[in-house]
Structure 1
Amino acid sequence: MSENNNQKSRVAQLALRNAMAGMGSDAQPEFVEFALGAGAVSANHAWVAVLEQCDRSLGPVLLWAQKFDATSLDIFVVYDADLIARRAQLFDLDIRVWLVADKKVTIAEPAAVLAASQVPQSHEQFADLIAQSGAEVVREHGVLSGEAMGLEVCRVVVDENDNTPRLEIGVGAHDRETFQMLHGKVATLESLVKVVDIVRGHRQSGVEHHPLNRLAAERLLRHRVVVDPQLVAASSMQVVEPPVKRLNVKDAVPCCAVGVSEHGQPIVVVCTAVVDVDVVAFAADARARIAPDAQLVIATHTNNVTPSLAKLAKSLRNPARFVEVAPVVR
C-alpha cells in the first residue's frame, strides 16, 4: 500500500472511531479495510464509515459485511444519510444509518420517495414530433425527451431568454449546443429523423464499436427488454422513470421498466450493463417507488452476476432475482 493510501486509511479509521464514540459505542472491534472509508467488526456486528460516493454506498457496504457474516450494522455517512436509510429498510437486516456532520452524529430518518413530477403541458406539444421521427418518447422527472434504442437524441428545454419551451436535438448538452450552432434553434422533423437513423445504425447488432453504441448500454438493454419482454419472462413492459434523477446522459445509471409477467403478475425490471455493486439497493428503491408489491427482476449482461450479488438480492425483505441477457454482438 502506498504512503498516500496509508494516510487515507488512517484518516478513515480515525473518522470511524470518532463516529462510533459519537453514537455512544464503547466497543473494541477489529478494524478492517473498506474501499470507501473504514470498517470494523465484532462477532456478527459491523460498523462502517463511508467518506465518499455515499449515495451509491449501501451495496458496497452490504457486500463487504457479507464477508464477515455481519447481520447487524451501523453505517456512518457524511451526506445522503436519509437516502441510504430509506434503502436500508428494504433489506432483511438490522441496519442503522447515521449522519456525520458538523462534528455531530445523528440517527438518519428515511427520506420520502421522490414525488412524481409531470411533464408540463406546454412541453407535450413536442411528443408527436419525437414519435414521428421514430424515436421513443420518454418522460422522466418532468423532462420530455426522445431516445433511439436507449440513447437520448433530443430533449425539451426552456429557453432562458424568453422562458418558452423548445426541442433540442443532440446527445447530451454539448452535442445539442453544437447542433444548434450548425442548424439553428428550431428542430425540424427531417433533422431529427436523420439523427435517429444515424444513432440506430450504430446501435444495431453486428456493427463495429463506436461512441454511439458505448453510451447508455443499460438503456439499450432496457430498449431490448421492452421490445422483447420474454427476455425477462414478461408478457409486456414499458419504460418508467428511475427513483432518482439522472444528471448526465453519459452517466451509467440503472434504468427501469414496469409491466406484467408471463404469469400475469406485476413486475419491475431494473437494467444495468455492468457489474454494479449497488444495483440491488437501487433496484429495491425503484420497486418501492414504482410498484411495491411487484416482482423485482434485475436484468444485466451475461457474466455480470457474482455469487455475492445474487445472495444480496435474496436478502431483501421481498427478494429479487437476476436475469442475464446476452449483450448485443459487436
Structure 2
Amino acid sequence: MSLDKGQISSDLDKALLAIASTNDLDSLKQIKIDYIGDKSALAKANQSLASLDPGQRAEFGKLIGSARSEVNQAFELKSAQLSKQRDSQVLLTEKVDVTLPGRRTLKGGLHPLTILTNEISDLFIGLGYNVAEGPELESEWLNFDALNIPADHPARTMQDTFFIQPLEAKLVLRTHTSPVQIRTMLEQNPPIYVICPGKTYRADELDATHTPVFHQVEGLVVDEDITMADLKGTLDYFAKSIFGNEVTTRLRPSFFPFTEPSAEVDVFFNGRWIEWGGCGMVNEKVLATCGVDTKKYSGFAFGMGLERTLIVKYGITDMHDIVEGDIRFTQSFGVGKK
C-alpha cells in the first residue's frame, strides 16, 4: 500500500465527520470499528509504514500518528457527550415520585384446605389418635383387594381409577386414603387409633361439585369392645367441633365392602340435612386380611371429603373456587391479606 498525504487527510476528515454526525451510542460503536479499529483506513496506513524508506517513515509516521490521535480524542469527547445525554434521559423517564405510597406485599398463608386439615389433625391428636400417611401411588392390592373390594367392582374400572402403565405393575393413583388404614394394621398391633388425611384421585371431570384430585380424612379405630355407639359418639364430637355445637348427625344404612354394617353420615346444618361422608364397623374380612384377631378386636372407620367439609362449613357453591388458586378466595378466609 502506497501512502499519500492527501488520502490521510481525507481519511481524517471522514472519521471526524462521522463522529460529529452521530447522535447515539450504538452508532458511535460502529464508527469506532470503521474509523479507529484495526481494519480502518488510518490503521492500515499505520501498518504500511514498515514498507517505506527510512527517510519517509518518520514524516508519514508523525502525520498518521497525529491523525489517529485526533480521531481518538474526538471519539472520547463524543462518547462522553452521548453518555451524559443518555443518563439525563434515563433520569427523566425513570423518575420516581418518592411521595407516592409504597406497594405493600401480600402476606403468604396456608390454603383453607390445609388449615382445615391441620384443624382436624389437632382435634384427633387431642383425643389420643395418631396421624398416619402413605404414598399416593399405591398398589392395587392395598387400594382394593385388602379392603374387600371385588375384582368386578365398578370402582376398579378406568372410569373411576387412574391405572399406571404398564398395567401389569398393578399400580394406581389411590382412590381413597383407606390403603393407609391397611398399612397401619399390617404394621401395628391393636389398639389402633389413627386418622389418615391426604390427597386422592378419581377420573372425574372438574365441575362445580367434582374434581379429579381431592382430599380426604379417614379415621380408624381397632380395639377391644368397639361398637357402633363408639363410632356415633366420635362422629358427633367431630361434627360439633367442625361445624359448631348446634349441629346434629344421623346415620343412614348403606353399603361399603370394607365395613359391615355401613352407614352414610349426614349433618343437620343451616336448616337442612347434608351428606357428609361414610362410616361403619370394619369388616371382619378386612381385619383378618391384616392379621387382626377378630375374636378379640373390632373396629370402626369413617371417611369425609375435605373439600365437601369446606363447602358445607362455609357455604361455598363452586369447587372451582377451592382448586383454581384465585387469591380473592383465600383472602375471604383472612389468608394473604395486607
Structure with greater contact order relative to length (CA < 8 Å, sep ≥ 6): 2
TM-score between both structures, scaled by the size of structure 1: 0.22
Rg larger in 1 or in 2?
2
Q: Which has the higher helix share?
A: 2
